[in-house]
């Protein structure tokens, strides 16, 4: 598969080290792109839920792939989130092309871009962290239950569904959490003169423009690699939302296997 050149890729809420992480799909995506900069916008490794007995090879391969990308010239900015907040103790560290930061400010074609995880807007994180951690463990159990339900649902021909996403969305809509989160980020960005603000944390991929009497801003959220499998991509003149599609990679893997087995002539058989 030919790699797509990109200027910037923003990934958030990968949650390596948990059962909900789609590490194999993320590997496919990373191996399909050639970015100059990757921003890991918080909760990349889930320290809260990390267990010594659960670290699959696919999760290690994600780390190896990122190390290889750094060796090949990609700069990686690791921005701290709530699940990897331990790194905030070293949030000015730089190791070659790896930068650990709490936030990142970029100037792209004269426009100011403000990137941070966003957990500072979460009241449960700020005042009742233990409640947030309990909820995090419950969320992981719900992901396991969801996988069992999906196996049954697929066998019955009804397709997959996301229990955790439906429950989370209904609860957060009831308390207007998502709207409040986005509104806070937008208003702060306008007050501080930013043209773009990019967050993670709430697992809700979105690109949304906003304007008020003080100015305008474009709010973006890169989503997650638990349920939505999304990323933000910048190609030199505009931002786009990437959404993982399994069928895009099945063909690519099939081509690679055919080349390895039969040589380039086998390509003529693929339509």
Q: Is the pLDDT reported for residue 51 higher than 90?
A: no
Q: Is 265 or 151 the better-scoring residue by pLDDT?
A: 151
Closest CA to 222 of 6, 14, 1: 14
pLDDT digits (tens, 9 = 90+) for 111-155: 999 999 998 876 544 444 433 443 444 555 555 566 665 666 556
Q: Which helix (H) or strand (E) holds 241?
A: strand 239-243
**Domain boundaries defined on the chain:** 4-246
* Listed range (85-89, 124-128, 164-168, 181-185) with the worst mean pLDDT: 124-128
Residue % of the chain over a pLDDT of 70: 71
Name the burial class of residue 50, with classes exposed (0-12), middle (13-18) and buried (19+) by CB atoms within 10 angstroms of its CB: middle
Q: How confident is the model at residue 237 (pLDDT cuts 50, 70, 90)?
A: confident
pLDDT digits (tens, 9 = 90+) for 187-235: 999 999 999 999 999 989 999 999 999 999 999 999 999 989 999 999 9
pLDDT (mean) for 245-258: 63
Rg (CA), the chain: 20
Nearby residues of 119 by Cβ (< 8 Å), 6 or more positions away: 42, 81, 82, 85, 125, 201
Which pLDDT value is given to residue 162? Answer: 60
Which pLDDT value is given to residue 122? Answer: 64
CATH of 4-246, one of 3.60.21.10, 2.60.40.1220, 3.40.1190.20, 3.40.50.300: 3.60.21.10
pLDDT (mean) for 261-271: 36
- Cβ distance 160 to 150 under 8 Å? yes
By three-state DSSP, how is residue 106 classified? strand
User: How many H-runs (helices) and E-runs (strands) does the chain carry?
Assistant: 7, 12
Which pLDDT value is given to residue 180? Answer: 84
Q: What is the pTM of this model?
A: 0.77
């Amino acid at each position: 598969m030919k790699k797509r050149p990109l200027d910037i890729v923003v990934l958030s809420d990968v949650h390596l080290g948990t059962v909900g992480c789609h590490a194999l799909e993320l590997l496919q995506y990373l191996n399909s792109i050639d970015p100059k900069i990757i921003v890991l916008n918080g909760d990349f490794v889930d320290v809260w839920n990390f267990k010594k007995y659960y670290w699959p090879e696919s999760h290690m391969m994600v780390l190896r792939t990122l190390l290889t990308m750094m060796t090949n010239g990609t700069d990686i900015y690791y921005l701290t989130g709530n699940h990897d907040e331990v790194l905030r103790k070293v949030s000015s560290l730089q190791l070659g092309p790896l930068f650990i930061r709490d936030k990142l400010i970029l100037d792209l074609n004269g426009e100011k871009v403000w990137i941070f995880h966003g957990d500072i807007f979460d009241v449960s994180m700020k005042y009742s962290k233990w409640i947030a951690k309990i909820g995090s463990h419950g969320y992981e159990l719900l992901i396991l239950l969801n996988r069992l339900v999906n196996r049954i649902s697929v066998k019955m021909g009804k397709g997959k569904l996301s229990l955790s996403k439906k429950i989370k969305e209904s609860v957060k809509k009831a308390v207007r959490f998502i709207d409040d989160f986005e509104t806070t980020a937008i208003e702060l960005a306008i007050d501080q003169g930013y043209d773009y603000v990019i967050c993670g944390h709430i697992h809700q991929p979105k690109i949304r423009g906003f304007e008020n009497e003080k100015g305008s801003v474009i709010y973006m959220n890169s989503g997650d690699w638990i349920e939505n499998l999304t990323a933000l991509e910048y190609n030199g003149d505009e931002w786009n939302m990437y959404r993982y599609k399994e069928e895009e990679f099945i063909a690519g893997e099939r081509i690679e296997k055919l080349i390895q087995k039969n040589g380039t002539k086998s390509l003529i058989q693929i339509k």
